[in-house]
Amino acid sequence: MKVISLNGRSKLHLRNTCAAIGIFDGVHRGHQYLIKQMLLAAHRLKAQPMVLTFFPHPVHVLVPNVKLGYLSSLADRFRLLGELGVRVCVVVRFNPSFARIQPQKFIKDILVKKLGVKAVFVGSDFRFGRDRTGDISLLQAMGSQYGYETHAVDELKGAGETISSTRIRKLLGEARLNEAARLLGREVTVSGTVIQGAMRGRTLGYPTANIAYEAQILPPKGVYVVRVLLGKKKYPAIANIGTRPSFDRKNTKVYLEVHILDFSRNIYGCCLEVEFFKKIRDEKSFTSPQDLVRQIQKDEAKTRRYKRSSSFLNTPS
């Protein structure tokens, strides 16, 4: 998928595109439905399918004191969009200047002149432009003037509630992984690069891959049954999310580390995706390394039992 960064000085002039517009954080089932409708229209119109997204999240610019984490990194967003069949993704750098753009100017200068839209797909509650004054009615009215279609796609429902990134963030914060996965349309996943840690796990007999994760939202602190995706292969593993209180009670940084079962390769610098399936326990502080090892052995036994009972974890390595 081709990624194009759009700012005020971009000399971009695309033609004959069909665009889905939104933030698409997490690319959940609601996003997937909207994008699939766009792809069908692109085929009908013989237009280039495209996504227009925004980064950083507008909340970070408009309400900077609000701490809103991402469900997926920008790189993961690109990957997920590409897997859906999107061939071009235009990223608008959302900043205070862009936040002040009049909605009519956004339509004329960006959608029409720069992107050459023939059809626009947005959620039914989509608002845009200065003070969020642009809406579906304006898109439709100016579409008649400039010759593009406007499609407002109703939100999907899941268990009687709207599928939204906000709802998934709440479920994830409560470690309700199965419910979050149903709304995402896939397992809860965190990706990042393996970096060198303190190597304590190796001395305990349980070497771990320390992951510099990119997403800002993790499940709550604790130990989890996970699956690690490394290249094209998948491996069952145990993940720990926490501050390592057994070694440093004053530390506040949250680490993500995984012990991959029956695995001994050097993977420093590799990118891993960690899929979360089940929480085993909360994070604990142990008074001795021996107590910690005994607990890890119990965690491993639970993970192996879960692996045997769950076909999706029984993947060849």
Supply the pLDDT for residue 311.
Answer: 62
Are 26 and 57 a contacting pair, CB within 8 Å?
no
Q: Give me the pLDDT at residue 314, please.
A: 55
Both tokens of residue 105?
């100017």
CA distance 250 to 253: 9
What is the pLDDT at residue 285? 87
User: In what helix (H) or strand (E) does residue 119 lie, and over which residues does it extend?
Assistant: strand 117-123
Cα 308-311-313 angle, rounded to 5 deg = 75
- In order along its 317 residues, the chain shows pLDDT tens digits of 999 998 766 788 899 999 999 999 999 999 999 999 999 999 999 999 999 999 999 999 999 888 888 999 999 999 999 999 999 999 999 999 999 999 999 999 999 999 999 999 999 999 999 999 999 999 999 999 999 999 999 988 876 778 999 999 999 999 999 999 999 999 999 999 999 876 676 667 788 999 998 767 899 999 999 999 998 899 999 999 998 877 777 777 899 999 999 998 999 999 999 999 999 999 988 888 889 999 999 999 999 999 888 765 655 44
Q: Give the CB-side neighbour count of residue 183, counting CA atoms within 13 A.
A: 25
Domains and CATH numbers, the chain: 2-162 (3.40.50.620), 187-312 (2.40.30.30)
Q: Return the HEC string of 36-90.
A: HHHHHHHHHHCCEEEEEEEECCHHHHHCCCCCCCCCCCHHHHHHHHHHHCCCEEE
Question: Which residue in the block uniquely carries the two structure tokens 């993977």?
Answer: 267
Helix (H, G, I), strand (E, B) or coil at 141: helix
Instruction: Look at the block and give the residue holding tokens 């993940």.
Output: 239
What are the phi and psi torsion angles at 100 (to 5°)? Answer: -90, 0
